[in-house]
């Protein structure tokens, strides 16, 4: 997708109305008018309208409308369609139409399309591609899924250091339309080593006879390798506010660039991955909820539920051991869900804050002691407030005695402190031993807190109530 795409779109609200209108026009077979209405839209919005046509009127109509688009528009629209629609359309159009789409797509879009398609379709598509290009495509298809290699494109602008700025700008004029971005150029030596980076802005403000080598930045050039994880790539973009980032191989030879428009998806996927891990969900983060089958939903949820259930077996064991005490004072059961639930909630609060802080790099491992000290003070104060509220509840609302109130209130303070310290330290511990801190979140912390809080409550009860 072109990097400096100039917005030419309608606002969301109008878009919904336009979709209705277009559906009506298709219904009335007024295809000419429909087509011209549709072509007033930006490619992003045309793709969304096609999806809507599929939802409301079926695949056949979507393919029909897709085929009516001018070839140059349909190529861009195709790139914006979700994977499912892409596969359906590929299956519904002719081989020559497929070839057209693949050959006209931007290189990184084409790789994205090929990556998602079933193998037999990829073979059909690559059948007519020249051998050299097929080799390059296969290299790209083999980069690991979340690596810089899978994000990059080969459509960048390169200069020689002995070019003048005028020559460089002339070069941009010639190849600019096919490049992902024209605003940053990359300077290579004879062996394709990256030796400099130059912005179009810096070339515009100097004399045209200046050499590229004089305006380029050539010290400590920021780059990533094809194997760099996409999360690290997105961190570089955020940290330095980049528009593009060069990708090099092990010998520092330039092999591609990544542009900022492809980073938005990465940031969203990384956040989604964290959300899912924090809610005890395994599996891929880039699959859409509605597209995912019931079976694969079950497989992403069941393992964690079973694992967490095991910690409750231990909690159950503790309860069984204290069964006689509970029988002797059955009103103690009343406060079990409140104590463990509140413990779980306050542990979740802490773990979420720390997980997020680690993810955005506001909190580092060396801050562990500061975090511990802060959580200790916070949990002590919160524990005091909640224990006073509970004393009031137990004695005034439920009419139980002072000793029961004391048991519940004291348990509350200890539970809150334990929950918050556990919740805040587990993510840091996970990071130390190389695990993703996000797994040490709500569900796991709640399950552990449940176990500990049950034990604390019962031990305090036996002591205070002499049971």
Site for a copy of itself in 78-117 (CB under 8 A): none
Work out whether 337 is an interface residue with a copy of itself (CB under 8 A). yes
Work out whether 327 is an interface residue with a copy of itself (CB under 8 A). yes
In the complex, least distance from residue 354 CB atom to a copy of itself, rounded to whole angstroms: 7
Work out whether 8 is an interface residue with a copy of itself (CB under 8 A). yes
x/- letters, 137..156, toward a copy of itself (CB under 8 A): --------------------
Among the listed ranges 57-65, 142-150, 332-340, 425-433, the one in contact with a copy of itself (CB under 8 A) is: 332-340
Among the listed ranges 105-113, 198-206, 249-257, 458-466, the one in contact with a copy of itself (CB under 8 A) is: 198-206
Site for a copy of itself in 33-52 (CB under 8 A): 40, 42, 44
Residue in the block written with tokens 């200790």: 376
Rounded Cα distance between 38 and 364, Å, is 51
Distant-in-sequence, close-in-space partners of 104: CB < 8 Å, separation ≥ 6: 71, 72, 75
Which of 72, 284, 362, 401 binds a copy of itself (CB under 8 A)? It is: 362
CA-wise closest residue to 248 among 318, 190, 192, 320: 192
Site for a copy of itself in 152-181 (CB under 8 A): 169, 172-173, 176-177
x/- letters, 280..299, toward a copy of itself (CB under 8 A): xx------xxx---x--xx-
Which of 162, 334, 462, 463 binds a copy of itself (CB under 8 A)? It is: 334
Which of 57, 68, 326, 467 binds a copy of itself (CB under 8 A)? It is: 326
Q: What share of the chain is helix, strand, coil (3-state, %, to 5)?
A: 70, 5, 25
- Strand ranges across the sheet with 224-225: 224-225, 244-248, 254-259
CA-wise closest residue to 183 among 167, 194, 168, 161: 168
> Virtual CA dihedral for 34, 38, 40, 46, nearest 10 degrees?
180
Work out whether 458 is an interface residue with a copy of itself (CB under 8 A). no
Site for a copy of itself in 224-283 (CB under 8 A): 236-243, 245, 260-261, 264-265, 267-268, 271-272, 274-276, 278-281
DSSP letter for 198, please.
E
> Virtual CA dihedral for 114, 115, 119, 124, nearest 10 degrees?
10
Which of 65, 454, 457, 461 binds a copy of itself (CB under 8 A)? It is: 454
Rounded Cα distance between 275 and 443, Å, is 12
Among the listed ranges 25-33, 119-127, 248-256, 382-390, the one in contact with a copy of itself (CB under 8 A) is: 382-390
In the complex, least distance from residue 137 CB atom to a copy of itself, rounded to whole angstroms: 23
Q: Which is nearer to a copy of itself, 146 or 351 (CB)?
A: 351
Could you give the residue ranges of the DSSP H alpha helices within 11-130? 12-27, 31-38, 43-57, 59-68, 71-80, 83-92, 95-104, 107-116, 119-126
Distant-in-sequence, close-in-space partners of 270: CB < 8 Å, separation ≥ 6: 230, 231, 234, 285
Rounded Cα distance between 254 and 194, Å, is 6
In the complex, least distance from residue 197 CB atom to a copy of itself, rounded to whole angstroms: 5
Reported residue count of the chain is: 467
Whether 250 and 225 have beta carbons less than 8 Å apart is answered as yes
x/- letters, 386..415, toward a copy of itself (CB under 8 A): x--x---x---xx-----------------
Site for a copy of itself in 57-76 (CB under 8 A): none
Work out whether 340 is an interface residue with a copy of itself (CB under 8 A). yes
Query: How many residues touch a copy of itself (CB under 8 A)?
Result: 126
User: Strands, E, within 311-422: which ranges?
Assistant: none
Which of 34, 148, 159, 356 binds a copy of itself (CB under 8 A)? It is: 356
């Amino acid at each position: 997708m072109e990097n400096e795409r100039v917005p030419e779109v309608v606002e969301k609200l109008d878009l919904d109305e336009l979709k209705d209108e277009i559906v009506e026009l298709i219904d009335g077979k007024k295809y000419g008018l429909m087509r011209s209405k549709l072509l007033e839209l930006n490619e992003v919005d045309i793709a969304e309208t096609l999806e809507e046509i599929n939802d409301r009127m079926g695949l056949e109509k979507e393919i029909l409308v897709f085929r009516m688009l001018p070839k140059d528009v349909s190529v861009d629209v195709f790139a914006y369609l979700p994977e499912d629609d892409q596969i359906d359309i590929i299956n519904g159009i002719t081989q020559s139409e497929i070839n057209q789409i693949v050959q006209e797509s931007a290189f990184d879009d084409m790789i994205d399309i090929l990556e998602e398609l079933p193998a037999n379709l990829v073979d059909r598509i690559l059948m007519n591609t020249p051998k050299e290009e097929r080799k390059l495509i296969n290299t790209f298809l083999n980069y690991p899924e979340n690596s810089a290699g899978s994000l990059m494109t080969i459509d960048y602008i390169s200069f020689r250091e002995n070019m003048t700025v005028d020559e460089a700008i002339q070069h941009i004029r010639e190849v600019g339309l096919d490049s992902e971005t024209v605003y940053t150029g990359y300077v290579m030596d004879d062996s394709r080593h990256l030796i400099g980076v130059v912005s179009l802005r810096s070339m515009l403000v100097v004399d045209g006879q200046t050499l590229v080598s004089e305006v380029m930045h050539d010290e400590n050039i920021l780059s990533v390798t094809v194997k760099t994880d996409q999360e690290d790539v997105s961190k570089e973009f955020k940290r330095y506010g980049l528009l593009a980032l060069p990708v090099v191989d092990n010998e520092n030879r330039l092999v591609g660039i990544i542009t900022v428009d492809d980073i938005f998806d990465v940031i969203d996927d990384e956040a989604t991955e964290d959300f899912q891990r924090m809610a005890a969900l395994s599996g891929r983060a880039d699959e859409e909820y509605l597209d995912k089958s019931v079976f694969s939903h079950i497989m992403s949820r069941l393992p964690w539920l079973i694992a967490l259930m095991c910690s409750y077996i231990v909690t159950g064991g503790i309860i069984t051991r204290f069964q006689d005490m509970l029988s002797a004072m059955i009103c103690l059961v009343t406060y079990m869900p409140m104590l463990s639930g509140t413990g779980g909630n306050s542990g979740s609060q802490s773990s979420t804050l720390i997980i997020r802080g680690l993810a955005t790099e506001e909190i580092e491992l060396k801050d562990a002691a500061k975090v511990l000290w802060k959580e200790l003070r916070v949990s002590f104060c919160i524990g005091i407030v909640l224990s006073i509220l509970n004393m009031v509840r137990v004695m005034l609302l439920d009419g139980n005695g002072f000793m029961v109130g004391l048991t519940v209130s004291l348990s509350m303070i200890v539970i809150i402190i334990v929950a918050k310290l556990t919740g805040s330290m587990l993510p840091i511990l996970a990071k130390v031993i190389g695990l993703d801190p996000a797994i040490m979140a709500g569900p796991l912390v709640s399950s552990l807190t449940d176990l500990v809080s049950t034990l604390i409550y019962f031990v305090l009860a036996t002591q205070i109530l002499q049971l």
